Amino acid sequence: MNASIIAPTRNRSKWLISAIRSFVEQDFPSSQYEIIVVDNGSTDNTREITEHIASVNKYTIRYIYEPVPGLLSGRHCGALEAKGEILIFVDDDIEAVKGWLSAIMAEFEDDSVHLVGGPSLPRYEADPPAWVDKYCSWKEDQLTCGSLSLLDKGKERMEIDPVCVWGLNFAIRRKTLFELGGFHPDNIPRYLQHFQGDGETGLAMKIKAKGLKAVYAPGAKVYHHIPRERLTATYFENRFFYQGVCDSYAQIRQNKGIVNINIPDYQRENRTSPNLPAYDQYKHIIYTRIHNAYVDGFLFHQEAVRKSKTLLEWVLKGNYLDYRLPELDPREHDKIHEVRDRIQRRPAHPQWPQMMAQDLFREAFDIIKSDDIVTALSRLDMVTNLCPHMPNLHLTRAFCLSALNHSREAIRAAITELTIQPNNKQAVDILLKNQQALLGELKTAPQKTVRFVERILKSRLSQA
């Protein structure tokens, strides 16, 4: 057995199916690698789908249940059970391209190579908002986005900084992993986040300190599923809170105690200039919130460690091959939770929805000018979710729907506009120009709507 693919997972069976299938479809001898699924306490059908795929494939697929929470336990449990000389740690929401495993194993034919990674490219469930660009670094055609675990260093093989090999696509010699003491704590559930560490970054830093070679293999490519909820300000706040905890942990380990700590500052939320475009104001507020969530995470961890001798010992632990979490005494537990309660998250800006809606509304008008009515309508639907009572919104939707020959839907939009602006003549014109569709709509509309439309039209006729 040359390689072990280790996939820790928890309650993500819908992604895990695709991941395992991509691992069994590699162009590498089935007898020379195994797939280990480490179930970190799932309550969904993870076990069933893993065992089903194992039963219909010739590949060695093993299911292991490990209830200790956190990614650390999943990784180290898998490593201790693995039979391969090369350990390949993956996330459960990736898909590996054909040739991925061969590309990794080819690099390890060089005895001087200890760590291998490759491109991780996105499969977005929805288009990322423009403000996400701040967290993505482009250098020519190379992409780095740690917040979404995306990496693309191009099509050339190269030696790289070990820190650039990320945990969703992380291949290491078994001997190297154990000699360096394994990973640091990672992806701890939120209620245990005081036990969080710097994950594979801590291990990569040890590899770097030893001067061991890490390689970027362009053929070792994976695609990373990024659901819609990861493209929200709330997700980024949570992600950066966690990053603050990680960085606090790293400083304490580096300084061998809570001394000489560089504490980051909160950013003040400058109230926006009236001359600044609405979307730029919106982005500024998002960035401030995300940064301050990072500071919250850092300060939370610092104070939690100060209040718990057990937690300090955990942070300074020599290695985590024994990955069981320590037990806090009741007083330490209560103090840490008091700290969490005192860390006040930044409140949401009350004008966000309106500011975002205004910017999208203007964008929709620009798109209408280019005759892309379908795209414009999608923008207007987004505005409807954000600010449903915006004047002229539903009128504009009605015009777009009429242009697409959706007469009944255009009528509904015009009626909605009239509930906001009863004297809007253009909305009334849409009703009168689509009388057949209007009659059809009124046959199934609530009586309240029918009476409202009758009142509007009688008023219009009396004015005429």
Q: Is the pLDDT of residue 463 over 70?
A: yes
Run of H or E residues at 9: strand 3-9
Cα distance between residue 94 and residue 223, in whole Å? 5
Which of 342, 377, 411 is the last residue before a domain boundary? Answer: 342
Give the pLDDT confidence of 191-215 residue by residue, as tens digits.
899 999 999 999 999 999 999 999 9
At 235, is the pLDDT very low, low, confident or very high (cuts 50, 70, 90)?
very high
Assess whether 247 and 170 both reside in one domain: no
Which of 199, 215, 231 is the last residue before a domain boundary? Answer: 231
Angle, helices 352-369/373-386, rounded to nearest 10 degrees = 170
- Cβ neighbourhood burial of 159 (10 Å; 0-12, 13-18, 19+): exposed
Pairing type for strands 222-226 and 120-124 reads parallel
Pairing type for strands 120-124 and 86-90 reads unpaired
Q: Is the pLDDT of residue 63 over 60?
A: yes
At 260, is the pLDDT very low, low, confident or very high (cuts 50, 70, 90)?
confident
Give the pLDDT confidence of 389-398 residue by residue, as tens digits.
899 999 999 9
Mean pLDDT across 153-158: 95
Cα distance between residue 320 and residue 183, in whole Å? 7
Q: Is residue 182 part of a domain?
A: yes
Cα distance between residue 185 and residue 199, in whole Å? 5
Domain range spanning residue 185? 3-231
Q: Is the pLDDT of residue 46 over 90?
A: yes
Angle, helices 278-306/233-255, rounded to nearest 10 degrees = 40
Nearest CA among 411, 422, 408, 410 for reference residue 459: 422
Mean pLDDT across 138-167: 94
Which of 200, 231, 262 is the last residue before a domain boundary? Answer: 231
Assess whether 224 and 278 both reside in one domain: no
Interior angle at CA 406, CA 402 and CA 411, nearest 5 = 70
38: left (phi over 0), alpha (psi -120 to 50) or beta: beta
Give the least confident one: 266-270, 323-327, 349-353: 349-353
Order of strands, sheet of 3-9, starting from the edge strand that comes earlier in the sequence: 60-65, 33-39, 3-9, 86-90, 169-173, 113-117, 213-216, 158-159
Assess whether 51 and 134 both reside in one domain: yes
Give the pLDDT confidence of 211-220 residue by residue, as tens digits.
999 999 999 9
Interior angle at CA 445, CA 442 and CA 449, nearest 5 = 90
Measured in degrees and rounded to the nearest 5, phi and psi for residue 166 equal -100, 160
Q: Is the pLDDT of residue 247 over 70?
A: yes
Assess whether 280 and 399 both reside in one domain: no
Q: Is residue 347 part of a domain?
A: no
Kindly state the tokens that stand for 137: 């670094």
Measured in degrees and rounded to the nearest 5, phi and psi for residue 214 equal -120, 140
Tell me the sheet residues that pair with 113: 213
pLDDT attached to residue 359: 72
pTM above 0.85, yes or no: no
Q: CATH number of the domain that 366 lies in?
A: 1.25.40.10
Mean pLDDT across 170-174: 98
Give the pLDDT confidence of 178-195 residue by residue, as tens digits.
999 999 999 988 889 999
β strands within 179-263, DSSP E: 213-216, 222-226
Assess whether 387 and 297 both reside in one domain: no
- Give percent of the chain above pLDDT 70: 95
Assess whether 178 and 273 both reside in one domain: no
Assess whether 195 and 250 both reside in one domain: no
Assess whether 154 and 180 both reside in one domain: yes
Q: Is the pLDDT of residue 64 over 90?
A: yes
pLDDT attached to residue 139: 87
Assess whether 279 and 161 both reside in one domain: no
Assess whether 244 and 391 both reside in one domain: no
Assess whether 431 and 457 both reside in one domain: yes
Assess whether 397 and 303 both reside in one domain: no
Cα distance between residue 214 and residue 204, in whole Å? 9
Pairing type for strands 3-9 and 86-90 reads parallel
Residues 6+ apart with CB under 8 A from 32: 1, 2, 3
Kindly state the tokens that stand for 307: 């209040």
β strands within 111-237, DSSP E: 113-117, 120-124, 137-139, 142-145, 150-152, 158-159, 169-173, 213-216, 222-226
Name the domain count of the chain: 3
